[in-house]
Structure 1
Amino acid sequence: MTDATFNHAEAPLRIGQVQLRVRDLDVVSGFYQRVIGLSVLDRAAGRVTLGAGSVPLLVLLGDPDATPRNPRDAGLFHTAFLMPTRADLAHWLAHVTRLGVRLQGASDHIVSEALYLADPEGNGIEVYADRPVAQWRDTRGQIRMATDPLDIPALLQERRGDWAGFPEGGIIGHVHLQVGDTGAADGFYRDILGLDIAARYSGAHFYGSGGYHHHLAGNTWNSRHAGPRPDGAAGLEAVELVARDPATREVIMARAERAGIPSEVSHQAAVLRDPWGTRIALAT
């Protein structure tokens, strides 16, 4: 059995940056630096860009007047930070244990091992490491996922040194969204963006590109029948999807145009909105 991990650079679509609108920029920025281990790459009035090495991953937009996020609205369920190795995940777990950070969950998903928490404004976070791709599928070739207890002692045995911040090569592996209806989510994330439905579970669909277990997911666990989120609310501002080549983005934009979905186009990205108003920025 091969130990090869998934190569996101080869997928037609992958997650780039996530933008969050936050009410207290200093507090939230400090949390992602101290707890997640991200570094400040750029700082401007009302805006902080955080990342790993020189790669931007998270953009925080400060807005003290933003409406506090409603946990039953459509929008963000969690931003998932993917560690390059299981040892990196073990280092991070030891780090947050020393800090006394309260985790909200720890799960073995078969495809990955994951730890869950939230930032000071309630934005969900997952920190995870993938298992080798060869371990993801059942005898029929279907991706297997579950939510089993994580063997934390076994994970901690993987430590090989001390925590030194979010590792270079770490990325945002996926973003899990709250949606009002999984069928309507399929109509956008599968039919417009062209993602595959990698798995379906009660109230949740998982969408992947290039064979990944999921780059995006949508669930109705807290948000069933939710309508569009109001502009200016705290929480998720945008998710950047990076296309492998311009042709991939052009195909998506053509599908969106045929479906009557408006777009906002700039020199950096073309922005579409899902049925709940979540901005999906398509970059290359």
Structure 2
Amino acid sequence: MTEKPLLPAGTTIGRTALRVGELESMLEFYRDVVGLAVQTRGDHRATLGVDDTPLLELYRDETARPRAHAQAGLFHNAFALPSRAALGGALERVRADWRLDGASDHFVSEALYLTDPEDNGVELYVDKPKTVWPRRDDGTVEIGTVPLDLDTLLTQSDGSSEVPADTTVGHVHLEVTSLEAARAFYVDALGVTVQTSVSSALFLAAGDYHHHLGLNTWNGRTEPAGGRGLAWFEFVVPAGTLETVREHLAEADVSVTERGDGVELTDPDGTSVRIRTPS
């Protein structure tokens, strides 16, 4: 692993972007079910988020084929809500207008799972207080899975049609073709910490969060990412650290493309990763 972690403590996930075939139905889902506000909208692009903070970009590309079963790519986008009341409100919206795929208590968080109109996974979750997160002797976080009590959650619903203003993209979970290659890129080169390792999956974080990035091989993907689905996601590093990140990338011999607000790189499965500082 690099001696100087490329992504420092304080790094978060910023926006994610999806390449879509049908913009209107996707916009309606993320507005009406997830509860994001539409910030910009055009014939081929829409931005959704909270207040003035963009969280999700949708790009319409009619030529992009649906993601093939063998292709790597997005497992789910995970929107972190600030309270159980907000998660209860999300559950009400899902039950009224969509379908729930699953719900779990992960010891560190409580989560709802669903699938958008173009088969992208979505997680809506609320973190438990960090003081109750179970930790191993080495300080890493223990993540588990037990059923979530939905009836109790509904009694705490805020009844809102939108997520609160302090909602974020808490983490992104990817399906990869090789856990070893993905680990070499994200852990050994970028210096992101392994918080939890389970059967055919890794959960990684910058700092001591339970995870900013999930990686798994559960569905046996064998081909690079492509077509509809995840176009890119971004890490947001603390202000004043981007130049250090550039230096660490050069030391780790990671190829990058300069962008106006940061840099872009590509993981072993062809997934685009952007790094920038806060806007």
> What's the TM-score, normalizing by structure 2?
0.91
For residues 259-274 of structure 1, what are the structure 2 equivalents within 5 Å?
259-274=252-267
Q: Does 1:34 align with 2:27?
A: no
For residues 20-169 of structure 1, what are the structure 2 equivalents within 5 Å?
20-99=18-97, 101-138=98-135, 140=137, 141-159=139-157, 161-169=158-166
How far residue 139 of structure 1 moved from its aligned partner, in angstroms, is: 6.0
Q: Name the residue aligned to 1:238.
A: 232
> Is the Cα–Cα contact under 8 Å of residues 194 and 252 in structure 1 kept in the other structure?
no
CA distance in 2, matches of 1:222, 1:94: 30
How far residue 259 of structure 1 moved from its aligned partner, in angstroms, is: 4.0
Q: Mark the CA change 1:223 to 1:32 in structure 2 (over 3 Å): closer, same or farther.
A: same
> Is the Cα–Cα contact under 8 Å of residues 192 and 252 in structure 1 kept in the other structure?
no
Q: Name the residue aligned to 1:188.
A: 185
CA distance in 1, matches of 2:136, 2:189: 30
CA distance in 1, matches of 2:268, 2:136: 36
- SS of structure 1 residue aligned to 2:189: coil
Q: Mark the CA change 1:264 to 1:45 in structure 2 (over 3 Å): closer, same or farther.
A: farther
AA aligned opposite 1:271: E
Q: Name the residue aligned to 1:213.
A: 210
> Is the Cα–Cα contact under 8 Å of residues 140 and 208 in structure 2 kept in the other structure?
no
AA aligned opposite 1:173: G
Structure 1: runs of 5+ lacking an equivalent: 1-9
* Per-residue Cα deviation, 1:223-244 (whole angstroms, up to 9, x for no partner): 34x23224xx111000011001
How far residue 155 of structure 1 moved from its aligned partner, in angstroms, is: 1.6
- SS of structure 2 residue aligned to 1:97: helix
How many percent identity over aligned positions?
A: 41
> Is the Cα–Cα contact under 8 Å of residues 193 and 252 in structure 1 kept in the other structure?
no
* Per-residue Cα deviation, 1:45-68 (whole angstroms, up to 9, x for no partner): 411011111110000000011011
How far residue 204 of structure 1 moved from its aligned partner, in angstroms, is: 0.4
Equivalenced residues, count: 269
How far residue 138 of structure 1 moved from its aligned partner, in angstroms, is: 3.5
250-259 vs 75-84, which moves further: 250-259
* Per-residue Cα deviation, 1:212-257 (whole angstroms, up to 9, x for no partner): 0000111001134x23224xx111000011001332x334433433
CA distance in 1, matches of 2:271, 2:23: 21
Q: Name the residue aligned to 2:269.
A: 276
Q: Name the residue aligned to 1:228.
A: 224
AA aligned opposite 1:217: G
CA distance in 1, matches of 2:9, 2:156: 28
* Per-residue Cα deviation, 1:178-220 (whole angstroms, up to 9, x for no partner): 1111121111111222211010001100011120000011100
> What's the TM-score, normalizing by structure 1?
0.90
> Is the Cα–Cα contact under 8 Å of residues 19 and 61 in structure 1 kept in the other structure?
yes
Q: Name the residue aligned to 1:5.
A: none
AA aligned opposite 2:270: G
How far residue 16 of structure 1 moved from its aligned partner, in angstroms, is: 0.4
How far residue 127 of structure 1 moved from its aligned partner, in angstroms, is: 0.3
